[in-house]
Amino acid sequence: MIYLDHSATTKPDSSVMKTFIQANERYYANPASLHQMGTEANTLLMKAREQIAQILKTEPEHIIFTSGGTESNNFAIKGLARANQHRGKHILISAIEHPSVIESARHLTNEGFELEFIDVDKNGSVKLSDLQSKIRKDTVLVSIMHVNNEMGAIQPILEMAKIIRANSRAFFHVDAVQSFGKLPVQFQGDNGPDALTISGHKINGLKGTGLLAFSKRIKIQPILHGGGQELGYRSGTVAVPQNVALAKAMRLAVEQMAENTPKFEKWREDLHAFFNKFYHVHVISNNGGAPHIISCSVRGLKGEVVVNALQSEGFIVSTSSACSSKDSSISHVIEALQIEESFEKGVIRISLGNGLTNSDIEQFKVVFAKMMKQLKGETIQL
């Protein structure tokens, strides 16, 4: 099987696994314990936090380890809004956010918060004019993802930050789950976001690892209470081996980005040109988006049919999002893009990652063309 679903999850890198196993074997003590083994485990944890802080250009005490992207997004949305509601109770998010952001923000409406959605254009880019018109003095939080997980649109983070700073005292949270390791992701001081979400299993790390990072010390309310671990923000015995493995995965992702980006961009452009040859295929992603996500739709088919047809020929892709792939309804992202109705249900996502070759991409095109001939009676010249 050729795996083309790296935006859903990735295979852990062998060196990340080695780091995790070694840490489990030697540093298994509770880092909160006062004895020597606990101190050694805590020292290792501190080193991991420092390494991540250096990558993100922030301070170690501004890194909070979590179980992954969903928890980090819940923590950011609920924690920042609740702790700072004296500034206002208005929340802005884009219309194409991940469900963990949308549902967290919707949950807060039960507590008296007001939620508004920012529109996107046909390419999935946030309309800066709509952000400008909707942000208010009582906006407490703006949350916008860096790269969309379904079709790869890259959002203009720094431009949005300028609008937010100039018109409100709102905190700016960015879900960087799909961008870290694929695009430069660092804090920009007062010119960028206040908080970032990162997930380990999207960058050849381990499932169940992630973090929420801050650019500076800000007021946030915990959503897990207990012994006060993670600087008081996230109670529970800290998983030292997992977090050390996350630091390793992040270092590798940054190192590999320079090599991967040109390859991914070439393959993305090649696949876009290939898909555009078909009358019955609508290309959703574009060459200005993230290099690793290619999204298209087949007219009059369901995405599941295309996924199964490709799988039978040895290629693993997904429908628009793994987080909602078992839901037969049309993706909220596709609805926001307002694509032609005949293409709404036939969306598939190809996402690139480590280990792929030119041969894999060429073979995928052969298989896809064969499928189109069988299912839609359409033939092209390869």
Q: How far apart are CA 131 and CA 134, in angstroms?
A: 5
Query: Order of strands across the sheet with 195-199?
Result: 63-66, 210-214, 195-199, 171-175, 139-143, 90-94, 114-118
| Length of the chain, in residues | 382
CA distance 250 to 41: 20
3-state secondary structure of 356: coil
Q: In the Cβ-directed half-sphere of 273, how many Cα atoms lie within 13 Å? A: 10
In the structure encoding, which two tokens stand for residue 201, read together? Answer: 């299993």
* Dist. CA 233–CA 230, nearest whole Å: 6
322, 323, 330, 375: which one is catalytic?
Answer: 323
> Torsion angle, CA of 99/101/106/109, rounded to 10 degrees?
170
Give the gyration radius of the chain's Cα atoms.
Answer: 21
Q: Is 323 a catalytic residue?
A: yes
Long-range contacts formed by 303-311: CB under 8 A, 24+ apart: 303/345, 303/346, 303/347, 303/348, 305/346, 305/375, 306/346, 306/348, 306/371, 306/375, 307/348, 309/371, 309/374, 309/375, 310/348, 310/367, 310/368, 310/371, 311/1
Give the three-state DSSP class for 50.
Answer: helix
8-state DSSP, 215: S
Please name the amino acid found at residue 65. F
Map residue 83 onto helix, strand or coil. helix
Residues with active-site annotation:
323
